[in-house]
Chain A
């Protein structure tokens, strides 16, 4: 039985790879600088749509932390995102006019590009509103982390998605280009996360945070998943199974310790809830291109109309990674 299940997962992985290959035909090259990639480079893979205003800060954030090359898939942006990225010296850009939903929310495109360019590299796979915080990120660059992971024979690094939000209505403090989004959205929920094991794929399933607290308090099983594995030493046989929540082969999903200890992990700070969000939610609701029939966006839409304030008096204000470590949202593991 175990062998059968293992074989099923193997087939599933192969299926994802074929899918990726098939969906890769939707990709059109905009700017190719992949020849500049050196063997030891850390790469960053992103799918995005209409995120122009976030890009300067996003690129700088990861550049400063030692990412050497960015690979973007632009899903038909109309706000100059593509042109801006194509002009950056360390970005390679593809575009696709295909359906976001039917490419498994961009994962097919990313899987294809990962297979082509990510093999043998440490790859960060994030959205433009996700910012990786890892132990010692204030003093050590990402290559220090990846060197250590490699020396420890670790291939994947987990990070929980931490929803950040401002105090007061989210439209009251507009975000301007280049600004640190966490100057505005600097609050988070520190201890209301629900964790369970997903035995099929061997990963943890985490839900909770302000979205569960406010939008899914009556149907928590539909609350968005917060478990993420954004940093992986990629091999061309790997494939993301569902967003960056889980991978195949499933051994890569074991980013947690089962015997009482703590593995090193980070946090993916999520700058979703800025003033840009309300327009985005409205648009996504019309495009119907998001997960589970955009259920999430429907919930936000009604939620945000009634009370757009995610803040409560128990909200925690972000200081630094050490604070997140003390709160038990991430861990240094045995990295010291």
Chain B
């Protein structure tokens, strides 16, 4: 008989009785503290359920409220009963009514017997604590907390603020260095009795009665005064979420719990029948002396925390809809936008698709319909090509497309002829790679068989659209990877520029293509621009476009002048 359990219960007393019986039958004395607020019939039921066991005691009852001294008071009372009534107990283990032993008692006993003078209690100085939810570390010891955090939150917060503002600080008794840690501990008789029988306990108790959440600091601080050997970790597996409330274990955690090799876990859902049945009826597996390894469970809960606080980037759904700029990534993966390229090159999309080894969309924001790769009516994720549906909410259309095609880089064309509402969204998205050849929209006009008056009108409109777009791209807040050339600049060294875009895409290198996209024949384009000017328009976004360039293009003879390596 070397270990005794002090159990603090307030709900699911049937489960507490089951666990108490498990321990008591295996020769471990148990002292049960039941919250005074538990109605008498339930309490009597618990008494009745364990009355045949001679080594279970009930301690005096206190009214317990979370975060207050009453919890420490209750554990003190329980521990005192334990120390007085069971002199052979060497380690006292503080557990709750929703704790469940994961390993046979014999293993725990052997483990503690091998470490007879070690106190297992998480005890960390206030400077090093980072898990407190309320942000109160050392202030827990220095301020006063007369208002309940759960019931009078507003008053609680205001009073803390007030004390901070006036610089109020309580005096910490001499020789005490505040420490914090999990409230579930396992202490040796020597240490525990030293704490409980300390001549200045009255002073300390009085001090801790006004400390915030004293059950996480009372023993954790005082143990530093007496213990000869502290192992600063809890033997109880207990994980807290971002609200500071314990994670609950369910039936489907069975394998996770078993592999953790922890001795006791909390908190267990009261109706998790399979967990209770399995662990309380576990056969002795021969004394295994493995160390507790909660790493795997830690990872599961760390992931849950990450999901709850940061979420999956680029995913918009009915339980995640971030305010602007709180998205942690407006879209979920990098994508490329080309403006002007399919005007300047013939069959640009098929060429780019072959070059990248991926599907390349046409103009997704075409006023008539979304031009998906393959020109289907529906695309990945059942995204409709309907212009009305898309324009109803273009941002969601784009983020859905990127989300639906995770793992495949999306590449699409954009143009001043398209619906422009999406412009700022793309510009402000760090995942966007936007390459623009300004003025390339004039090339289709140049080759179009249309009345010059209407061409001139359209040219003015498109130029305005493009200037607006480029202005957006050049804002300070733009986060996209932006490349802008004027048409004149681009046609000087088209393949170099194209190559720089492809290089920036990164990703797995594609097999070298010996095929180059074909430039539209620009002979006479300079004259075309001059005609626009003569009509009173000022086509300036193409850059300086002298007639010579066109002639040079013509001389280099055309068919496939450049290779993209």
A: residues with CB less than 8 A from B are: 136, 139-141, 143-144, 147-148, 151-153, 158-160, 189-197, 204, 206, 209-210, 212-213, 216-221, 226-227, 255-265, 312-316, 328-336
* Residues A314 and B378 in contact, CB atoms below 8 Å apart: yes
| Contact of B322 with A258 in the complex, beta carbons under 8 Å | yes
B400 and A193 contacting across the interface, CB-CB below 8 Å? yes
Q: Do A331 and B392 touch (CB < 8 A)?
A: no
Counted as pairs of residues, one from A and one from B, with CB atoms less than 8 Å apart, the total is: 179
Cα of A181 to Cα of B31 in the assembled complex, Å: 53
A334-B304 CB under 8 A given contacts A195-B396, A260-B310, A314-B380? yes
CB-CB under 8 A from A328, the residues of chain B are 312, 315, 317, 403
Given known A-B contacts A191-B382, A194-B392, A210-B382, A259 and B326 have beta carbons under 8 A apart: yes
A139 to B245 CA separation, bound complex (whole angstroms): 22
The reply to whether A331 and B320 contact each other, CB–CB distance below 8 Å, is yes
The chain A residue with its CB closest to the CB of B303 is A336
Nearest Cβ in chain B — how far from A203, in angstroms? 9
Residue B388 lies at the interface, judged by CB distance under 8 Å to chain A: yes
Q: Are A331 and B326 in contact (CB under 8 A)?
A: no
- Minimum C-beta distance from B156 to chain A (A): 15
> Could you say which of B328, B378, B386 contacts A260, with CB atoms under 8 Å apart?
B328
The answer to whether A192 and B382 touch (CB under 8 A), given A255-B318, A261-B307, A262-B312, is yes
B326 to chain A, nearest CB (A): 5
A262 lies within 8 A of B318 (CB)? no
What residues of B have a CB within 8 angstroms of the CB of A193 in the complex? 317, 396, 400
**Is B318 a contact partner of A227 (Cβ separation < 8 A)?**
yes
A256 touches B319 (CB 8 A): yes
A-chain residues with CB within 8 Å of residue B379 when the two chains form the complex: 314
Residues of B within 8 A of A197 (CB): 321
Contact flag A220-B271 (CB < 8 Å), given A158-B319, A190-B404, A257-B322 = no
In whole angstroms, what is the CA distance A227 to B319 when docked? 10
Q: List 30 A-B contacts (CB under 8 A).
A: A139-B250, A153-B243, A190-B404, A191-B380, A191-B403, A193-B396, A194-B393, A195-B316, A195-B396, A213-B382, A213-B386, A216-B389, A221-B392, A257-B322, A259-B323, A261-B307, A261-B308, A261-B311, A262-B307, A262-B308, A263-B308, A264-B319, A265-B317, A265-B319, A314-B382, A314-B383, A328-B312, A328-B317, A334-B308, A336-B300
A residues within 8 A CB of B388? 217-220
Other-chain contact of A257, B271, B320, B378, B383 (Cβ < 8 Å): B320
> Does any Cβ of A come within 8 Å of B301's Cβ?
yes
Among candidates B243, B251, B378, B393, residue contacting A139 with C-beta atoms closer than 8 Å: B251
Query: Least Cβ distance of B227 to chain A in Å?
Result: 34
Q: Is B248 among interface residues, defined by CB-CB distance under 8 A?
A: yes
B86 on the A face (CB < 8 A):
no
Q: Contact check, B250 vs A136: say whether CB atoms are below 8 A apart.
A: yes
**Contact status of A218 and B386, CB under 8 A, knowing A194-B393, A314-B381:** yes
B327 on the A face (CB < 8 A):
yes
Inter-chain CA distance A206–B393, complex, in Å, is 11
Q: Which among A136, A191, A204, A216 has the highest number of chain B CB atoms within 10 Å?
A: A191
Nearest-Cβ distance from residue A126 to partner chain B, whole angstroms: 16
CB <8 Å contact, A212 and B389: yes
Asked if A160 and B317 make an inter-chain contact with CB atoms under 8 angstroms apart, the answer reads: yes
| Min CB–CB distance A328 → chain B (angstroms) | 4
Other contacts beyond A197-B321, A227-B318: 18, CB < 8 A: A136-B250, A136-B252, A140-B251, A141-B271, A148-B248, A151-B248, A158-B319, A160-B317, A191-B401, A204-B321, A206-B318, A219-B388, A256-B317, A257-B321, A258-B322, A262-B308, A314-B383, A336-B300
Q: Which one, A194, A260, A334, contacts B389 given CB within 8 A? A: A194
Residues of A within 8 A of B381 (CB): 189-192, 314
* Closest Cβ–Cβ distance, residue A155 to chain B (whole Å): 15
Please indicate the chain B residues that have their CB under 8 angstroms from the CB of A218 in the complex.
386, 388
Cα separation A160 to B301 with both chains bound (whole Å): 25
* A265–B312 CA distance with the chains assembled, in angstroms: 14
Complex CA distance for A313 and B269, rounded to whole angstroms: 43
How far, in angstroms, from A258 to B320 measured CA to CA in the complex? 7
Cβ–Cβ contact A256 & B301, under 8 A: no
CA distance A334 to B306 in the complex (A): 8
Shortest distance between the CB of B307 and any CB in chain A (Å)? 5
Q: Chain B contacts of A257 at CB under 8 A?
A: 308, 311, 319-322
Residues of A contacting B322 with CB < 8 Å? 257-260
**Which residues of chain B from 345 to 404 have any CB-CB distance to chain A below 8 Å in the complex?**
378-384, 386, 388-389, 392-393, 396-397, 400-401, 403-404
Check if A329 sits within 8 Å of B317, measured CB to CB: yes
Partner of B400 from A144, A191, A213, A221 at Cβ < 8 Å: A191
Residue of A nearest to B305 (CB): A334
Collect the chain A residues with CB atoms within 8 Å of residue B271's CB: 141, 143-144
**Contact between chains at A262 and B248 (CB < 8 Å):** no
Would B304 and A220 count as touching, CB distance under 8 A?
no
Q: Which residues of chain B (194-250) have a CB below 8 Å from chain A? A: 241-243, 245, 247-248, 250
CA distance A30 to B369 in the complex (A): 54
- Chain A residues whose CB sits within 8 angstroms of the CB of B318 once the complex forms: 158-160, 195, 204, 206, 226-227, 255-256, 265
From A152, A204, A262, contact of B311 by CB (8 A): A262
User: Given the complex, which residues of A lie within 8 Å of B326, measured CB to CB?
Assistant: 258-260
Which residues of B sit under 8 angstroms from A158, Cβ to Cβ? 318-319
- Residue count of chain B within 8 Å CB distance of chain A: 52
Asked whether, in the complex, the Cβ of B378 is within 8 Å of the Cβ of A335, the reply is no
Known: A144-B250, A204-B321. A336 touches B304 (CB 8 A): yes
Q: Which of B243, B301, B382 is packed against the most chain A CB atoms within 10 Å?
A: B382
In the assembled complex, how far is the CB of residue B336 from the closest CB belonging to chain A, in whole angstroms? 20
In the A-B complex, the 9 residue pairs with the smallest Cβ-Cβ separation, listed nearest first, are: A191-B381, A265-B319, A334-B308, A189-B382, A336-B304, A191-B404, A217-B386, A139-B252, A263-B319
Q: Which residue of B lies closest to A265 (CB)?
A: B319
Q: Contact: A151 with B389, CB < 8 Å? A: no
Indicate if the CB atoms of B389 and A336 lie closer than 8 Å.
Answer: no
B500: interface (CB < 8 Å): no
B309 at the binding interface (Cβ < 8 Å): yes
Least CB distance, B179 to chain A, in whole angstroms: 28
**Which B residue's beta carbon lies closest to that of A214?**
B384
Q: Are A258 and B321 in contact (CB under 8 A)?
A: yes
B401 to chain A, nearest CB (A): 8
Residues of A within 8 A of B301 (CB): 336
Minimal beta-carbon separation of A161 from chain B (angstroms): 9
Given contacts A312-B378, A333-B308, whether A217 and B320 have CB atoms under 8 Å apart is no
Which A residue sits closest to B246, measured CB to CB?
A: A151
Residues from chain B with Cβ under 8 Å of A219 in the complex = 388
How close is B375's CB to chain A, nearest CB, in angstroms? 14
Complex CA gap A328/B300 in Å reads: 19
Q: Which residues of B contact A264 (CB under 8 A)?
A: 319
Q: Which residues of A contact B389 (CB under 8 A)?
A: 192, 194, 212-213, 216-217, 220
User: In the complex, A237 Cα to B249 Cα: how many Å?
Assistant: 33
In angstroms, how far is the closest chain B Cβ from the Cβ of A94?
31
Inter-chain contact B396/A194, CB cutoff 8 Å: yes
Inter-subunit contact B250/A331 (CB<8 Å):
no
Q: A194-B393, A336-B300 are in contact. Are A140 and B380 (CB under 8 A)?
A: no
Q: Check if A334 sits within 8 Å of B241, measured CB to CB.
A: yes
Residue from A189, A192, A259, A329 whose CB has the most chain B CB atoms within 10 Å: A192
Type the 1/0 row for B263-302, where 1 means its CB is closer than 8 Å to any CB of A: 0000001010000000000000000000000000000110
Q: Complex formed: what's the CA distance from A213 to B396 in Å?
A: 14
Distance in angstroms from B70 CB to nearest chain A CB is: 20
A36 to B252, CA, bound (A): 31
In the assembled complex, the Cα of A189 lies from the Cα of B400 at a distance in Å of 12
State A315–B384 Cα separation when bound (angstroms): 12
Contacts A261-B310, A328-B317; is A140 near B250 (CB within 8 Å)?
A: yes
A192 vs B380: C-alpha distance in the bound complex, in angstroms? 9
- The answer to whether A192 and B383 touch across the interface, beta carbons within 8 angstroms, is yes
Q: How far is the CA of A259 from the CA of B310 in the complex (A)?
A: 8
A194: chain B residues within 8 A (beta carbon): 389, 392-393, 396-397
Q: Closest Cβ of chain A: how far from B256's Cβ, in Å? A: 10
